[in-house]
Amino acid sequence: MDEMEEKEIGKILQGYQPACVLMAANGLRIFDELAGQPVAVEAVADKLKLSHKGVDRLLHALAGMGIVEKKDGRFSLPERWRKYLTKNGERSMQQWIQLVSDLLQPWLELQKFVKTGKNLTSVMDMLGNDPVRMRAFIDAMHDKALKATWLLAREIPIGEARRMLDVGGGPGTYSLEWAKIHNHLKATIFDIPPVLAAARDYIARYGMKDRVDTRGGDFHKDDLGSGYDLVLLANVLHMYSEELGKSLVKKAAQALVPGGRIVIHGFCTDDDGSGPLNDVLFNINIGLLTPEGRSHPVKQKIQWLEEAGVRDIRHFRIDAIPTGVITGTRK
């Protein structure tokens, strides 16, 4: 039995290594070089101005991880990985991988957070002064949200809605994907002006200018409007304290017509706070980046909804990141 625990600890300790290999290959744009015909180490290294020694070891590690194929001394990226790991892949995760890479440094200082209880940096510090990184972050949010939009559309009667408000909607992924499915749905993306510049690009890309619009402001301070029959809070509440989260849920519910639906999608721990693992780890992650953010427990969010006059509340999880979904209708 002791040997099993020793192996498990070893597995946990080495867990960062494959992630670092993937992040390094992504940051160096190696996957795009492997998307065509099989290539030799030297060709990849020379094209990207990298060391032969470093590229050789990285490509062999990727082959060992089952991501890259090696045949006759040459390397290639199999078709099944290309849509996720190349720049022009239909479900490219390059921006998302880069975002995770950017968050690595705060995690290396976890002991400092545990000692002080104070965030080590902030998302706005990381992105706010760099328009390129801000846009990359927004693009990463879009890439990550796509799967969730499709899974939610299967579980929730979104097709009953005609006017939707996407609070803190970022690139507007949920609004755009749901409007694409339901021709009668019109949506408004509410976010700060710098983010809405990217949202308008996505609206144009989807060809949805006639049915999806934007509204700039601070959702903690500014009016959200009214008359909506669907309000979405996706990947928002975990950024804020219990007080601000509760207030925002109430405000969102008040923007609904009677019988209108609110959907909360985000990280949320089970009531005892020790699961699911991804949500518990995110609880640390958001603590490193925000003063008061956390993966608020499911029970707490349900209580916020009840106090905001929401009924028929349902909680479930989907096979996406994040997993947690809570929905109900306004009385």
CATH number at residue 312: 3.40.50.150
pLDDT value of position 221? 96
pLDDT value of position 261? 98
pLDDT value of position 194? 87
Q: Is the pTM of this model over 0.85?
A: yes
- Same domain, residue pair 69 and 129: no
What confidence tier does 133 reach under pLDDT thresholds 50, 70, 90?
confident
- Same domain, residue pair 120 and 60: no
Strand runs labelled E in the chain? 69-71, 74-76, 163-167, 186-191, 212-216, 228-234, 256-266, 310-317, 324-330
pLDDT value of position 129? 67
- Same domain, residue pair 208 and 320: yes
**Rounded percentage of the chain residues whose pLDDT exceeds 90:** 87
pLDDT value of position 228? 98
CB 265 within 8 A of CB 233: yes
What confidence tier does 78 reach under pLDDT thresholds 50, 70, 90?
very high
Report how far residue 285's alpha carbon sits from residue 266's, in angstroms, rounded to the nearest whole number: 14
CB 259 within 8 A of CB 329: yes
Query: Is 103 inside any structural domain?
Result: no
Alpha helices in 92-212 (DSSP H): 94-102, 104-108, 110-116, 123-127, 131-155, 173-181, 193-206
Note down the domain range covering 38: 2-91
* Residue 189 burial (C-beta neighbours within 10 Å; 0-12, 13-18, 19+): buried
Query: Is 118 inside any structural domain?
Result: yes
CB 279 within 8 A of CB 323: yes
Amino acid in position 303? Q
CA-wise closest residue to 76 among 26, 35, 42, 23: 35
CATH (domain of 12): 1.10.10.10
Query: Is 97 inside any structural domain?
Result: no
Amino acid in position 11? K
More confident residue, 90 or 297: 297
Amino acid in position 56? D
Query: Is the N-terminal amide bond of 38 cis, ω within 30° of 0?
Result: no
Query: Is the N-terminal amide bond of 157 cis, ω within 30° of 0?
Result: no
- Same domain, residue pair 123 and 85: no
Query: Is 105 inside any structural domain?
Result: no
Q: How far is CA 109 from the centre of its chain?
A: 22
Spatial CB neighbours of 109, under 8 Å, sequence gap ≥ 6: 120, 288
Handedness of CA 203, 206, 209, 213 (dihedral sign): negative
- Same domain, residue pair 285 and 246: yes
Instruction: Measure the CA dihedral 303/308/313/318, to 10°.
Output: -80
More confident residue, 233 or 93: 233
CB 255 within 8 A of CB 263: no
What are φ and ψ of residue 166, in 5° steps? -105, 95
Report how far residue 158's alpha carbon sits from residue 32's, in angstroms, rounded to the nearest whole number: 37
CA-wise closest residue to 176 among 215, 202, 144, 210: 202
pLDDT value of position 17? 97
Q: How many domains does the chain have?
A: 2
pLDDT value of position 231? 98
Task: Answer yes or no: is pLDDT of 126 > 90.
Answer: no
CA-wise closest residue to 147 among 201, 90, 198: 90
CB 327 within 8 A of CB 318: no
- Same domain, residue pair 322 and 207: yes
